[in-house]
Structure 1
């Protein structure tokens, strides 16, 4: 079929119905096949060029992959981190000085140092004298930060745009910059932590930035963002190796924000904690209750203890802890005193962890003071039988000490003569 005939058939197709369309498709196939024979073969697709990366960059990537597994809860990765840091430091220390004339290698060394590698490698890099001039402030600023010279580190690192360096360094750099300004300018610290999360999503850098930002927002009193980012952390990083640190500080922050004294806020707290499994939610409520007790916020302690007991199996240590926290908070309220004291007296001290056993003792002592009871008299030690009362022989060490003192006295008397 010629091109002209094909165009005519195409115009007639709407009028031909289904049978006409089938005929048209059958006639068009040979024509298209004939046309394809005359077309030139497609040129082979060339692979995209990949720049060769130096050993420091490759080893840094290995470390960061391991650390990303730590953010997802890899305990074995956490145990392997220190040996890997030592291995990488040894490999990079053995490089020829010329390797540090490349900016990419220098930046990788800085990222390695800030990610836990420490300052030793960076000192060696600086001493080679090969660092490109543009990278010198970065190296010196990182060394100042790792050496605790916050003012010098802030002066040098504040001038560097975290978005102008490779992401493998940029997220870590923004995290450090936030740490350096958080006391003086928490708003700027929040911006830098946001930037760190944006540059390095899904990494240990993002986990650390999000964890820090939650508590900066709590200190600033930004409740809405505190709640939003807390939910984000609990959803995405609740299995992180560092999640235990987050939960402890999260509980303390919640009590400072007085969630227990505001029913609406407490409802939002419940919504946040529903993001995690019941066991984790129970443990968080226990942390909140204990932190509230430590801060003297009895309302928050009672609310959190009640919620923890609901989630704790009957007769478990967690249930006993929840009852203890509620009773310890209740003894300061006149209407709760009698029931709280009975609960304290009925608590099995042996079933509690050491810190909670000490809390039980303190709560009982406080209850006695509230009631005006005299303190219990200390039990007198049993008196030994008369025939066993004899002086114990001095220990050899005491005898030697007494001999030495005698010699020193003799020497001093001799000097006076």
Structure 2
């Protein structure tokens, strides 16, 4: 299967993207380029994107639009060539307009398209993939080692992920084997890691993590890998010891390592996991220089939060007071302020009201209201800061990014509120 662009395919792409060529216009070039050559160019561009060439994002969007126009106006005789049939299917599975596949399937009076495949894709792309599970498991193996094989395997694995994880992992393995170094392998590795991490299956998760760390940390989806890896360490205690964490992250450049250690430190601090917080904070400091004030401030913040019960409270307060607002995101400013409130309440001398149980309800209510307001404010600021950075992404990718970031903010609000009860317990203990 050819997953790389030919010279003519790349020339077609350049002509389309620039709007001009030496001897033909962009429109003429699009007209003479058969779909399979345009798809090869699209594949090349998508592979560049997951290897860190973000300048290719706009070109990817442009090419998807041009292919869509071409397919909607195309003479159906073009599909007598099986390469063009595969190209149309690959377009649909590569972020193309699903309505275009509907149009082509309805016009296909010659039977060039396999009705089983178009039926599967039309259901999957319309959000009804669960209704095609049986057909997917029957049809996908037939197309193994074909041009559309890796794409169908990826589609099949995505549809099977929630109900039949072992079958999904096998499909992901085939997709990776048939399309190494491509956007297909990147997606298959990332999702395989997600499945095995959710189950706490470290023995299977670690090889996926190592491969991804070596090959795809420049992908715009690498942040999802970081979140999954951190969750594996946090949610399945003792499944991923520090030595294993360090071994995987050592495959990544220093800056990215530090970012992941800081994510790990933050989650561990919120979770109250002192050993993991100390480990992550120490590694983040090791990977930072004196110029990395913001990152060093975060490491100090997470270490300070988790050490409130054990370190001298006044010492913790001094450290927290030294961290400037500009070094912290809205979410981390909230964490710092919450930690400061806890520490201040623990050392506060009890007043007359605090000794009267009948008044305690009002004190707790005021405290909860104050903390809830901080959670809401921090989440709103975090959302406002993250949304603008998605403007240059393709529409579908932008929607996924926005959904992911909104989910992060909502998760943050839930975590923040769930901590109020723990903080209240600590305050009650401190005042007794």
Same fold by TM-score, threshold 0.5 exceeded?
Answer: yes
Work out whether residues 247 and 284 of structure 1, in 8 Å CA contact, stay in contact via their aligned partners in 2. Answer: yes
**1:124 positional shift:** 0.8
Match of 2:306 among 309, 329, 333: 329
Q: Which runs of 5+ in 2 are unaligned?
A: 1-31, 351-362, 371-432
1:160-179 → structure 2 map (5 Å cutoff): 160-162=139-141, 164=143, 167-179=146-158
Work out whether residues 278 and 303 of structure 2, in 8 Å CA contact, stay in contact via their aligned partners in 1. Answer: yes
**1:206 positional shift:** 0.5
**1:249 positional shift:** 2.8
Partner SS for 2:290? coil
2:177 is aligned with 1:206: no
1:265-284 → structure 2 map (5 Å cutoff): 265-284=241-260
Aligned to 1:144: 123
Aligned to 1:342: 318
Aligned to 2:50: 71
Work out whether residues 269 and 303 of structure 2, in 8 Å CA contact, stay in contact via their aligned partners in 1. Answer: no
2:91 is aligned with 1:115: no
Identify if the C-alpha distance between structure 1 residues 346 and 373 changes in structure 2 by more than 3 Å, giving closer, same or farther: farther
Partner SS for 2:147? helix
Aligned to 2:195: 216
After the TM superposition, which of the residue ranges 101-110 and 119-128 deviates more from structure 2? 101-110
**Residues of 1 paired with 2:40 and 2:158: CA distance?**
24
Aligned to 1:310: 286
2:340 is aligned with 1:361: no
User: For the aligned residues, what is the CA RMSD?
Assistant: 2.7
Aligned to 2:65: 86
Aligned to 1:183: 162
**Residues of 2 paired with 1:338 and 1:223: CA distance?**
40
Deviation sequence 1:9-61 (CA, Å, 0-9, x none): xxxxxxxxxxxxxxxxxxxxxxxxxxxxxxxxxxxxxxxxxxxx992222211
Work out whether residues 35 and 88 of structure 2, in 8 Å CA contact, stay in contact via their aligned partners in 1. Answer: yes
Match of 2:40 among 61, 64, 81: 61
Work out whether residues 144 and 150 of structure 2, in 8 Å CA contact, stay in contact via their aligned partners in 1. Answer: no
Deviation sequence 1:111-146 (CA, Å, 0-9, x none): 111111130210111120426277011111101111
Work out which of the two has the higher radius of gyration on C-alpha atoms and give 1 or 2: 1
Deviation sequence 1:287-334 (CA, Å, 0-9, x none): 111222344434322221121112212361100011001111222x33
**Residues of 2 paired with 1:65 and 1:152: CA distance?**
32
**Residues of 2 paired with 1:246 and 1:187: CA distance?**
20
Identify if the C-alpha distance between structure 1 residues 327 and 360 changes in structure 2 by more than 3 Å, giving closer, same or farther: same
Aligned to 1:225: 204
**Residues of 2 paired with 1:195 and 1:337: CA distance?**
55
Identify if the C-alpha distance between structure 1 residues 235 and 300 changes in structure 2 by more than 3 Å, giving closer, same or farther: same
**Residues of 2 paired with 1:299 and 1:370: CA distance?**
23
Identify if the C-alpha distance between structure 1 residues 75 and 237 changes in structure 2 by more than 3 Å, giving closer, same or farther: same
Deviation sequence 1:366-411 (CA, Å, 0-9, x none): 2234445688999xxxxxxxxxxxxxxxxxxxxxxxxxxxxxxxxx
Q: Which runs of 5+ in 1 are unaligned?
A: 1-52, 379-417
Aligned to 1:124: 103
**Residues of 2 paired with 1:71 and 1:129: CA distance?**
34
